């Protein structure tokens, strides 16, 4: 089988786990226990690592055409296959649970994958191929035919039960392969339920009713907040994707659904993004506030506060597990060849060990944003967190770190990290009246001003006429676009204006994408939207609007973004769907709505 492109996949979510389903109907990724758990289908990363296909026989032959779309304001996916013999619709979803509405999404998801086949015209021959491989493909389960026609698959820690309505299923040695015909008006439902091998048995659902309940659950969630800004046809789907990446039990937002999808096919930057990054915290809060719901913003903040715990001498990690786990030690999976043969496949992410000085700035700026909801005087735990993070910046801002791109070579004095240290101190000064007698705004302001002066002196390169990525560097870095976004400098400051033009000239492409650095072979979606924000803040609305439209045009047919876009082919690269890309879209759209309001 030819490997589907990253952009060929659609995203399903129950706010506990997520699945990827290809255009031809193959579920090639599902970690049913939770987003950062182990996969029962992982063909995305290895051809023998498990899949579950439901689609026409001979898909891809001449005369076969596919149309697909989400039901409005949901992650319920409807794929229509037009074949020479007729047309059939396959509707896919991860069940939300009976009666779930609004903010209850993900709290008690039943871990059931729903699929419905409906004949639209003619008579179409369909193929079912159920080949589960738990533990990221390490295990081959025993398959047993039950008396009621269900198929039970067990191996290691996983139990799966496949039900197919009235369709008889024949069990093979290690898979279920079946062909059947569907006529116009005929409906056949399938449900695949997961459970821990030593917990409660898999849930039984009425698949048709569960599909409708799931659609209603998503629609009711979107009704909790009406986005008032420009480009609602793009913002609302991106907000739904962000909700789909939110782990309902804690409120944490996963950076992406997947691990190890490469930033460059044949490269080595293949990382596990199924965790929640504090580096992205303030940007995520902005996007949730604008396009999702204040309730979700507050839950995310509460999760961060709890995950950090008491502030000590050690720096706060840049990422945590979705229930606040700190140790995310990384290992590789030699049995998996990787997407398009690009390994290694990694589980865990050793970036949690890195020193990244930008983390306190992300958190403290979020505290400032939420100040009116946190009270005129903070409770002792919140005060301790703010004071502890502030003092960490006072003591550490002069140190080098790994930077926002999480390089795995030597530490440097990255400009974006220093600027976020400035953000931290500026936020602390403005929050001082809520922090009690231990606040020291005069000393903090002096540190803030010293950081600013150091950045303006050390980050500027006269030769290239721009702020660079690190002190003493001559290399342009798109992270410099972050300076106006966090209000360190006005985009109309002469040096900042020169930097914006240099980044657009040297790192930009003809279709508007912005690379992170000159050797980067792909456009980075978030940086491209940062450029939109900079232009909008500078008052160059026409260029900002044109760029926003061009960048947004790189989404796939379902409005999904991965992390990067290949400059030669336009293919999606990196983990998908990528929260930061959709966050960038939402924040850029709101910046075009209100240039000074974020």
Q: Of 100, 80, 77, nearest to 214 (Cα)?
A: 100
Residues 237-269: tens digit of each pLDDT: 999 999 999 999 999 999 999 999 999 999 989
Choose the weakest-confidence range: 102-111, 190-199, 311-320, 533-542. Answer: 102-111
Output the CA torsion sign for 495, 498, 502, 504: positive
pTM: 0.96
pLDDT at 196 exceeding the cut of 90: yes
Q: Kindly state the average pLDDT of the residues 37-60.
A: 96
Give the mean pLDDT of 167-181.
Answer: 93
Q: What angle do CA 545, 550, 555 make, to 5 degrees?
A: 125
Say if residue 293's pLDDT is above 80.
no
Read off the pLDDT of each residue in 415-422 and give the average, rounded to a whole number.
98
578, 256 contact by CB (below 8 A): yes
Taking the alpha carbons at both ends of the chain, their separation in whole angstroms is: 47
Kindly state the percentage of the chain with pLDDT values over 90: 83
pLDDT in tens, 136-172: 999 999 999 988 889 999 999 999 999 998 899 989 9
pLDDT tens digits for 476-522? Answer: 999 999 999 999 999 999 999 999 999 999 999 988 899 999 999 99
Q: Is 292 a residue whose pLDDT tops 70?
A: no
pLDDT per position as a tens digit, 338-357: 999 999 999 999 999 999 99
- At residue 537, does pLDDT exceed 80? yes
Q: Is 15 helix (H, G, I), strand (E, B) or coil?
A: coil
Q: What pLDDT does 536 receive?
A: 98
Residue 377 pLDDT more than 80? Answer: no
Give the helix, strand, coil percentages of the chain, each rounded to 5.
35, 20, 45
Q: Report yes or no: 297 and 287 within 8 Å, Cβ to Cβ.
A: no
Question: Using 50, 70 and 90 to split pLDDT, how confident is the model at 1?
Answer: low
Tokens of 463: 């030769």
Burial (CB count within 10 angstroms: exposed 0-12, middle 13-18, buried 19+), residue 224: middle
**For 456-483, what is each residue's pLDDT tens digit?**
999 999 999 999 999 999 999 999 999 9
Q: Which ranges constitute the DSSP H helices of 53-122? A: none
Can you tell me the distance from the alpha carbon of 85 to that of 93, in angstroms, rounded to the nearest whole number? 26
The β-bridge relationship of strands 276-277 and 319-320 is antiparallel
- Beta bridge pairs of residue 291: none
The stretch 33-59 carries a mean pLDDT of 96
Structure tokens at 159: 């139990």
Mean pLDDT of the chain: 94
Q: Where are the domains of the chain?
A: 6-222
**Fold classified for 6-222:** Beta-galactosidase; Chain A, domain 5 (2.70.98)
pLDDT attached to residue 373 = 80
SS3 for 270-287 is: CCECCCEECCCHHHHHHH
471 three-state secondary structure: coil
């Amino acid at each position: 089988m030819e490997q589907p492109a990253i952009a060929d996949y659609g995203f399903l979510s129950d706010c506990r786990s997520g699945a990827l389903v290809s255009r031809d109907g193959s579920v090639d990724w599902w970690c049913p226990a939770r987003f950062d758990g182990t996969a029962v289908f992982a063909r995305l990363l290895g051809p023998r690592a498990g899949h579950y296909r439901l689609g026409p026989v001979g898909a891809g032959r001449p005369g076969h055409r596919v149309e697909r779309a989400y039901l409005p304001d949901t992650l319920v996916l409807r794929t229509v296959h037009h074949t020479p013999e007729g047309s059939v619709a396959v509707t896919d979803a991860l069940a939300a649970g009976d009666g779930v509405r609004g903010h209850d999404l993900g709290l008690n998801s039943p871990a059931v994958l729903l699929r419905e086949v409906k004949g639209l015209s003619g008579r179409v021959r369909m193929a079912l191929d159920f080949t589960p491989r738990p533990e990221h493909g390490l295990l081959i389960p025993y398959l047993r035919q039950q008396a009621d026609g269900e198929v039970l698959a067990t191996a290691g820690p996983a139990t799966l039960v496949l039900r197919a309505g009235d369709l008889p299923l024949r069990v093979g040695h290690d898979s279920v392969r079946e062909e059947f015909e569907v006529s116009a008006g005929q409906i056949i439902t399938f449900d695949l339920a997961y459970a821990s091998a030593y917990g409660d048995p898999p849930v039984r659902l009425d698949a048709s009713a569960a599909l409708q309940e799931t659609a209603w659950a998503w629609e009711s969630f979107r009704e909790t907040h009406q986005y008032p800004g420009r480009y609602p046809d793009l913002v609302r789907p991106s907000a739904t994707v962000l909700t789909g990446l939110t782990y309902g039990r804690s409120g944490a937002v996963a950076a992406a659904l997947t691990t190890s999808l490469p930033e460059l096919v044949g490269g080595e930057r293949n990382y596990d993004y199924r965790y929640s990054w504090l580096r992205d915290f303030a940007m995520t809060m902005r996007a949730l506030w604008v396009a999702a719901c204040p309730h979700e913003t507050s839950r995310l903040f509460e999760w961060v506060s709890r995950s950090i715990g008491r502030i000590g001498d050690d720096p706060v990690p840049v990422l945590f597990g979705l229930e606040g786990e700190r140790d995310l030690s990384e290992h590789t999976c030699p049995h998996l060849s990787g997407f398009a043969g690009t390994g290694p496949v990694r589980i865990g992410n050793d970036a949690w060990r890195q020193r990244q000085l930008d983390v306190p700035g992300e958190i403290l700026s979020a505290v400032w944003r939420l100040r009116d909801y946190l009270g005129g005087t903070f409770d002792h735990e919140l005060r301790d967190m703010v004071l502890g993070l502030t003092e960490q910046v006072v003591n550490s801002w002069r140190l080098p770190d790994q930077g926002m791109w999480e390089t795995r070579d030597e530490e440097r004095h990255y400009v974006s990290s220093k600027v976020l240290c400035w953000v931290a101190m500026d936020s602390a000064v403005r929050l001082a009246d809520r922090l009690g007698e231990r606040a020291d705004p005069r000393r903090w302001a002096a540190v803030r001003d010293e950081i600013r002066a150091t950045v303006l002196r050390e980050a500027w390169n006269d030769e290239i006429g721009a702020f660079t990525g690190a002190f003493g560097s001559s290399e342009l870095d798109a992270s410099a676009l972050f300076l106006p976004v966090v209000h360190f400098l006005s985009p109309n400051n002469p040096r900042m204006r020169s930097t914006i033009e240099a980044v657009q000239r040297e790192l930009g492409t003809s279709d508007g994408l912005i690379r992170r650095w000159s050797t980067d072979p792909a456009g980075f979606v978030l940086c491209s939207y940062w450029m939109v924000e900079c232009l909008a803040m500078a008052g160059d609305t026409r260029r900002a609007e044109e760029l926003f439209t061009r960048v947004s045009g790189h989404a796939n047919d379902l409005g999904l973004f991965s992390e990067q876009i290949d400059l030669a082919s336009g293919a999606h690269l990196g983990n998908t769907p990528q929260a930061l890309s959709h966050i960038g879209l939402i924040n850029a759209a709101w910046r075009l709505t209100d240039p000074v309001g974020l």
